[in-house]
Structure 1
Amino acid sequence: MASIEKLPMLAIGYEKLTAELKALREERPRIVDAIEEARAHGDLSENAEYHAAKERQGQVEATIADLEDKISRAQIIDPTTLSGDRIIFGATVTLLDDDDKPVRYQIVGPYEADAKLGRISYVSPLGRALIGKKVDEDIEVRVPAGDRFYTVEKIEFI
């Protein structure tokens, strides 16, 4: 029997997924009402409202199934309980870029990544390059804009 792959995430990512799931479950009855109302208008073959409501229903059901799967496999990580000298999921890292300017990122799951907030996914090119690195190690990352170079300055678990 295959083992179920856990999805590491922070509590904030888990809360975001559960809130999205709750909102979609609350939308279900409204979609059913829209389908019933459109069906009452007669000929379904040329009924745009009916087809739009059915399409939305399919999207919502697929998204609900996907969210339920992710939530069931969630492994919530509290970075404050972690330690070590290597970069792992949940770590907050300070890097020096090519110009010795510090940049700071927290390594998170894909569902909570937000570069503007300094959260990058462990599956992103930079996230993959950082995992397992130690302080003073150099990193080269190929991104669409070209190769970027960083040096790990600090690893924190906050």
Structure 2
Amino acid sequence: MQRKLLTPEGYQRLRNELNDLVRVERPEITKIVSWAASLGDRSENADYHYNKRKLREIDRRIRFLSKLFEVAQMVEYHPQQDGKVYFGAWVELENDDGEQVKFRIVGDEEIYGQAQHISLQAPIAKACLGKQVDDEVFVYTPMGKKTWYIIKIEYQRNEPKV
């Protein structure tokens, strides 16, 4: 696995997920599997088969997250980023038709379940990197070249905890 970039929020969310899987979900499912296995004949025991499958899915996700954290790099906001689009930025674009889109550029592992997050590898994210407000962004799509204009750039700053 190559180096994976994560925002501080994404890093914490995935770390919490791993913790929950290891400390809460896996022990609960293991108890259910043990109970279902103790009933005897497993060939037609739906509880056993369903929860055994769920346990394999949990173990797969635990392995994935554990390997991810071996190569994960948390990228925090730095004041030098202000005014330009970099990793972790919230970007608002507008096209000539007045259509607007807003998204946050994050790591590949952070986009799931987050409607306004896009991967750093997405064509529109790549086109925005290094640009500033009022710059044109050209995105090549199957329907041709699309032009967007950057109208706003924001960063989610992590205030120090006192």
Per the TM superposition, whether the score is higher than 0.5 is yes
How far, CA to CA, are the matches of 1:27 and 1:138 in structure 2? 44
- Quote the offset at 1:101 in angstroms: 5.2
What secondary structure, in the 3-state scheme, does the structure 1 residue paired with 2:43 have?
helix
Q: Deviation digits for residues 46-67 of structure 1, max 9, x if unmatched? A: 2111111211110110000111
Where in structure 2 are the equivalents of 1:1-158 lying within 5 Å?
5-25=2-22, 26-83=24-81, 87-100=85-98, 103-113=101-111, 114-116=114-116, 119-133=117-131, 136-142=135-141, 148-157=146-155
Gap change, CA 1:77 and 1:42, over 3 Å in 2 = same
Are the equivalent residues in 2 in contact too, given 1:98–1:148 (CA < 8 A)? no
Aligned amino acid, residue 14 of structure 2: L
Q: What is the RMSD computed on CA atoms of the aligned residues?
A: 2.8
TM-score where L is the length of structure 1 = 0.77
CA distance in 1, matches of 2:83, 2:57: 44
**Matches of 2:155 and 2:94, distance apart in 1:** 18
Is the CA contact 1:91–1:156 (under 8 Å) kept in the aligned structure 2?
yes
Question: How far does residue 152 in structure 1 lie from its aligned partner after superposition?
Answer: 3.0
Of stretches 94-103 and 46-55 in structure 1, the one that deviates more from structure 2 is 94-103
> What one-letter code is carried by the residue in structure 2 that aligns with 1:52?
Y
User: Structure 1 regions of 5+ residues with no counterpart?
Assistant: none
Displacement of 1:13 in angstroms is: 0.1
CA, structure 1 residues 103+53, in 2 after alignment: closer, same or farther (shift >3 Å)?
closer
Question: Which AA in structure 1 matches 2:118?
Answer: I
Give the distance between the partners of 1:89 and 1:152, measured in 2 at CA: 15
TM-score by length of 2: 0.75
Q: One-letter code of the match for 1:139?
A: F
Structure 2 spans left out of the alignment, 5+ residues? 157-162
C-alpha separation in 1, matches of 2:129 and 2:147 = 15
SS of 1:17's equivalent? Answer: helix
